[in-house]
Amino acid sequence: AADGLGSIAIDTTQLNMSVTDPTAWATAMNNLGMVPVGLAGQQLVTDSICVPGFDPSLSMMTGITPINPMIPGMGLVPPPPPTDVPVVKEIIHCKSCTLFPPNPNLPPPSTRERPPGCKTVFVGGLPENATEEIIQEVFEQCGDITAIRKSKKNFCHIRFAEEFMVDKAIYLSGYRMRLGSSTDKKDSGRLHVDFAQARDDFYEWECKQRMLAREERHRRKMEEDRLRPPSPPAIMHYSEHEAALLAEKLKDDSKFSEAITVLLTWIERGEVNRRSANQFYSMVQSANSHVRRLMNEKAAHEQEMEQAKESFKNALTGILTQFEQIVAVFNASTRQKAWDHFSKAQRKNIDIWRKHSEELRNAHSEQLMGIRREEEMEMSDDDSSDNPSKKLRVDDSALAAQAYALKEENDSLRWQLDAYRNEVELLKQEKGQLFRTEESLTKDQQLQFLQQTMQGMQQQLLSIQEELNNKKSELEQAKEEQTHTQAMLKVLQEQLKSAKELAEINGHDESQANEINVLTVALVNQDREKNLEKRSPGLKSEKEALLIGIISTFLHVHPFGANIEYLWSYMQQLDSRISANEIEMLLMRLPRMFKQEFTGVGATLEKRWKFCAFEGIKTV
Query: Distance (Å, rounded) from C-alpha 219 to C-alpha 298?
Result: 46
Residues in the chain: 620
With contact defined as beta carbons under 8 Å apart, do 610 and 561 qualify? yes
Amino acid identity, position 277: A
Q: Give the pLDDT score at 333.
A: 86
Amino acid identity, position 381: D
Query: Which spans in 88-189 are helix H?
Result: 132-139, 164-170
Sign of the Cα pseudo-torsion (552, 557, 561, 566, in order): negative
pLDDT over threshold 70, residue 395? no
Which of 489, 486, 510 has its CA nearest to residue 500?
510
pLDDT mean over 124-133: 90
- CA angle, residues 122, 123, 127, in degrees to nearest 5: 155
Least-confidence region, from 112-126, 224-238, 262-276: 224-238
The CATH-assigned architecture of domain 558-618 is: Orthogonal Bundle (1.10)
pLDDT mean over 145-167: 92
CA 354 vs CA 96, 349, 476: distances in Å: 97, 9, 66
With contact defined as beta carbons under 8 Å apart, do 13 and 94 qualify? yes
Q: How many CB atoms lie within 10 A of CB 170?
A: 21
pLDDT in tens, 445-469: 888 888 888 888 888 898 888 889 8
Which is more confident, 517 or 378? 378
Which of 357, 298, 314 has its CA nearest to residue 332?
357
Query: Distance (Å, rounded) from C-alpha 594 to C-alpha 469?
Result: 19
Query: Distance (Å, rounded) from C-alpha 595 to C-alpha 607?
Result: 10
pLDDT in tens, 398-434: 677 778 778 877 887 887 788 778 778 777 877 765 5
- Report the DSSP pairing between strands 35-39 and 155-160: unpaired
**3-class DSSP state of 611:** strand
Query: Distance (Å, rounded) from C-alpha 554 to C-alpha 547?
Result: 10
> What's the per-residue H, E or C state across 149-164?
EECCCCEEEEEECCCH
Q: How many CB atoms lie within 10 A of CB 361?
A: 17
Q: What confidence tier does 214 reach under pLDDT thresholds 50, 70, 90?
A: very high
CA 317 vs CA 265, 364, 379, 609: distances in Å: 52, 9, 21, 73
Query: Distance (Å, rounded) from C-alpha 122 to C-alpha 508?
Result: 143
- CA angle, residues 89, 91, 96, in degrees to nearest 5: 140
Contacts of 335 (CB under 8 A, 6+ apart): none
| Domain map (residue ranges) of the chain | 92-223, 240-315, 320-376, 558-618
Least-confidence region, from 95-99, 155-159, 339-343, 509-513: 509-513
With contact defined as beta carbons under 8 Å apart, do 468 and 407 qualify? yes
Contacts of 615 (CB under 8 A, 6+ apart): none
pLDDT mean over 96-119: 89
Query: Pseudo-torsion of CA 149, 153, 155, 159, nearest 10°?
Result: -10
With contact defined as beta carbons under 8 Å apart, do 609 and 564 qualify? yes
Q: Give the pLDDT score at 576.
A: 82
Least-confidence region, from 69-83, 128-142, 151-165, 396-410: 69-83
> What's the per-residue H, E or C state across 450-516?
HHHHHHHHHHHHHHHHHHHHHHHHHHHHHHHHHHHHHHHHHHHHHHHHHHHHHHHHHCCCHHHHHHH
Mean pLDDT estimate for the chain: 77
Query: Distance (Å, rounded) from C-alpha 37 to C-alpha 89?
Result: 10
Query: Which spans in 334-436 are helix H?
Result: 336-339, 344-386, 394-431
Contacts of 225 (CB under 8 A, 6+ apart): none
**CATH topology for the 92-223 domain:** Alpha-Beta Plaits (3.30.70)
With contact defined as beta carbons under 8 Å apart, do 121 and 140 qualify? no
**3-class DSSP state of 195:** strand
